[in-house]
Amino acid sequence: MFNKYICLIILLSLPVGLLAQTCEVKVGGRIQDGSSSEPIAYANVFFKEALQGAVSDEEGFFELPLLCRGTYHVVVSHIGCQTKEFYLSVYQDTVMVFELDHNSQLLDELAISSTLISETTTQELVTMDAHAISQNTDKNIANMLDNLAGVSTLKNGNNIAKPIVNGLYGNRLILLNNGVAQSGQQWGADHSPEIDPLAADKITVIKGVGALEYQGSNLGSVILVTPHKIDNEPHLHGKARYFFESNGLGNGLNIRLQQHLEKLAWSVVGTAKKKGDSRASDYYLTNTGSSEGDLALQLEYAHNPLWKSEVYISSFNARLGVLRGAHIGNLTDLEEALTREKPFYTQDQFSYQITSPSQNVNHHLLKLHTKFVPHEDHQFDLTYATQWDIRKEFDVRRGGRSDIAALDLNQMTQFVEGKYKRYFSNDWELASGMQFNRIDNVNSTSTGILPLIPDYISFETGIFVLASKKTDQMTFELGGRYDYLDQRVAAISISLPREILRYYNHFNNLSAASGFSYSFSKFLNASYNLGLVSRNPAINELYSNGLHQGVSGIEEGDPNLKREQSLKNTFSLGGSLNQKILFELLYYDQRIENYIFLNPQDELRATIRGSFPVFKYTQATARIFGFDVTSTFLISDQLNMVLRSSFLKGTDIQNERPLIYMPSNNLFSTVNYQMPQVGNWEQVEFQISSKYVFEQKNILPSQDFTRPPEGYHLVGLKISGERQLKNNRLNIFLRIDNLLNVAYRDYLNRQRYFADDLGINFVTGVNLNF
């Protein structure tokens, strides 16, 4: 290969006599894998302005002999890789190297790349890239991540969903939007993350216990939502994405525009979505429509090569319908609703109308960030962020009051962070930082009823120190964190006469984690991670008292709850056999003292707003353990198969019974057939997927109002392809979910008490890069 490099350079440097003429510049180079530097054969290289292209040979080399001098946009694509575009200036014979992220694990339905041992951490990282996001534009962020190993979804219908990682969600999971911990009403089972995934370039799930750098009440896992990096390109470019789905007659449009000037770079992203009533296999799910409008603006300014600043603004706005049949007026009807095949109030006609029960959610984020690198061994970061979260929930109320919100919450968050990184010559890296967070949460008095959670103000200060050392084969990490939280709560008494009850809470938390990874060879690596983390009881767990849509019932807190303390071990192993079989294994075992969970009570309570089951927050010593396994079989250059399984078990050790609301075990597989070229179409892919979810049998009959639903099997189909349209790149896809139109109910969907899950759904999408 070295000789071929020499020959190519000599060839391009030969005198040509007429080289001064306009179109006799020779351009050649090599296409290679970005991580392994292995050559990528049969990759397409297309120079837009010249309308010329070439295909790399078996060693990754290509050549275009007759190009004009000038600037070019170069599109490089290959099956199984994310297409990339480069901006180049060509004024003389040139040799270049293009790198693609060629990962044979980018082949399943979500184009997921998984790295058990990354270059900079001992954590397991699972990343959903831009191509995968563009193939799932109809989904919210939780539903996008649903087929990853170890990731499940807690739902209240299809519109309202939140991710679960290794059995934990909500207050125990940190979700970072462009580096800022999302702050809203994430405690609710029916409160989806207020983030537009189409504004992201990638979404990364970090499993383990090493998230000490981030402030929040997590017990290990982190979800990172990273916006698109603005390419160093002076021309105006963009991307337009449109989708249509048959189930709910939904459609959406997403547009991104960006430009990189000399010192200032900007990007703007807008999304609009609308859908009507979803449909189960044989009836409509009345009042499950939704509408959404989002906007994100990103500005980057280079003061000088050592100092850069960034402004990021995002606005998420959604109206979400809740199944009408989940709101029942009396105890007799509620008991019947739990056993009916078709829910109450089911309409025979489709509708876009959204009535009560429903949710209006608005979330606005402003982030200011500056980074100064005075020396290659020192880095300073300063961040300020403010978030404004407005949530209104509407119930079916008597006396024509359904248009008045039953829950009206307004939350303002202020966040300040300073970080310092130091890189040492002996491969050690030190990171430290300090953070301050203020939350002011207020209920509106216009609801006319007692609020579900009280007004409160919280002040949290945290500091962390992380140290890591990396060699060619080994990575070692060690870190610690301290947090102090001060809460000031003003609650309204339940008993008459009404009075203000004030609570003052103070929490001191210490957390620590260590990790070790080792590469035995190029084809085998392993890691181990150990963490001790504490979590304070959330406001809703302490003081909830009222009707909550998320559980379709009455929720009661306990002000005497203690903080949770978790000890988690994770072990991961990854590698390949003959470069034909790739495997990944993650085992985790977590013990949580004073584990807080919402426990159904043996009571159905009638109120003036209807009749509802009762749930109460309780504590126990819990153990959650399981494993995630992914195997990829490269049968040929065009045919491959991915198998993925997740097993999890949660146990209340103290009371010797199962934990409720733990994800069911599941199996997921895809078979993929890919063709590099079909006529003018490139990267044509046919995929069939299979997902089997087992019945949740790790639960006692007395722990829920109904027995868990039976296991179910879903089959999906997807066809996609790309083509070059002069200066534009077109990608289209057709995806069919629940191909066999199976009637099923999922244990983690709260709607299962009243109705089936979604039936067959045809989704088609068009993505255009310009």
- Residue 166 pLDDT greater than 50, yes or no: yes
Per-residue 3-state assignment (H helix, E strand, C coil) for 633-670: EECCCCEEEEEEEEEEEEEECCCCEECCCCCCCEEEEE
Asked whether residue 107 is domain-assigned, the answer is no
| Predicted confidence (pLDDT) per residue in 190-219, tens digit | 789 999 999 999 999 988 655 788 887 667
Asked whether residue 277 is domain-assigned, the answer is yes
What are the φ/ψ torsions at residue 325 (nearest 5 degrees)? Answer: -70, -5
CA pair distance 135, 641, nearest whole angstrom: 19
pLDDT mean over 362-366: 98
**3-class SS of residue 329:** coil
Window from 208-217, 567-576, 681-690 with minimum mean pLDDT: 208-217
pLDDT mean over 694-705: 90
Q: Is the dihedral of CA 110, 116, 120, 123 positive or negative?
A: positive
- Residue 622 pLDDT greater than 80, yes or no: yes
Mean pLDDT computed over every residue of the chain = 88
Residues 90 and 121 both lie in one domain:
no
More confident site: 80 or 741: 741
Residues 382 and 240 both lie in one domain:
yes
Domain with 221, as residue range(s), is: 112-769
- Residue 21 pLDDT greater than 60, yes or no: no
E strands of 522-563, at which residues? 524-535, 545-548, 553-556
Please state, for a pLDDT cut of 70, what percent of the chain lies above it. 92
Residues 140 and 232 both lie in one domain:
yes
Residues 589 and 538 both lie in one domain:
yes
CA pair distance 466, 460, nearest whole angstrom: 20
Asked whether residue 105 is domain-assigned, the answer is no
Omega before 357 within 30 of 0, i.e. cis:
yes
Asked whether residue 254 is domain-assigned, the answer is yes
| Predicted confidence (pLDDT) per residue in 104-134, tens digit | 333 333 333 333 334 456 777 888 988 899 9
Residues 193 and 94 both lie in one domain:
no
Of 49, 69, 100, the residue at which a domain comes to its end is 100
Q: Is the dihedral of CA 391, 184, 129, 571 positive or negative?
A: negative
pLDDT mean over 566-571: 94
- CATH number of the domain bearing residue 80: 2.60.40.1120
pLDDT mean over 330-334: 75
Of 36, 66, 100, the residue at which a domain comes to its end is 100
Residues 388 and 486 both lie in one domain:
yes
Residues 546 and 656 both lie in one domain:
yes
Residues 173 and 37 both lie in one domain:
no
Asked whether residue 610 is domain-assigned, the answer is yes
Helix, strand, coil share (%) of the chain residues, nearest 5 = 5, 55, 35
Report the range out of 87-96, 199-208, 365-374 with the highest average pLDDT.
Answer: 365-374
Q: What is the pLDDT of residue 13?
A: 47
Half-sphere exposure of 567 (CA within 13 A, CB side): 3
Asked whether residue 222 is domain-assigned, the answer is yes
Residues 596 and 536 both lie in one domain:
yes
- Structural domains in the chain (count): 2
Q: Does residue 54 contact residue 45 with C-beta atoms inside 8 Å?
A: yes
CA pair distance 576, 103, nearest whole angstrom: 13
- CATH number of the domain bearing residue 152: 2.40.170.20
Asked whether residue 649 is domain-assigned, the answer is yes
Residues 335 and 454 both lie in one domain:
yes
Window from 57-61, 462-466, 523-527, 765-769 with minimum mean pLDDT: 57-61
Residues 18 and 144 both lie in one domain:
no
pLDDT tier, 434 (very low <50, low <70, confident <90, very high otherwise): very high
CA pair distance 192, 246, nearest whole angstrom: 23
Q: What is the pLDDT of residue 84?
A: 84
Asked whether residue 106 is domain-assigned, the answer is no
Q: What is the pLDDT of residue 349?
A: 95
Residues 94 and 173 both lie in one domain:
no
- Residue 26 pLDDT greater than 90, yes or no: no
Q: What is the pLDDT of residue 102?
A: 61
Of 65, 100, 135, the residue at which a domain comes to its end is 100
pLDDT tier, 609 (very low <50, low <70, confident <90, very high otherwise): low
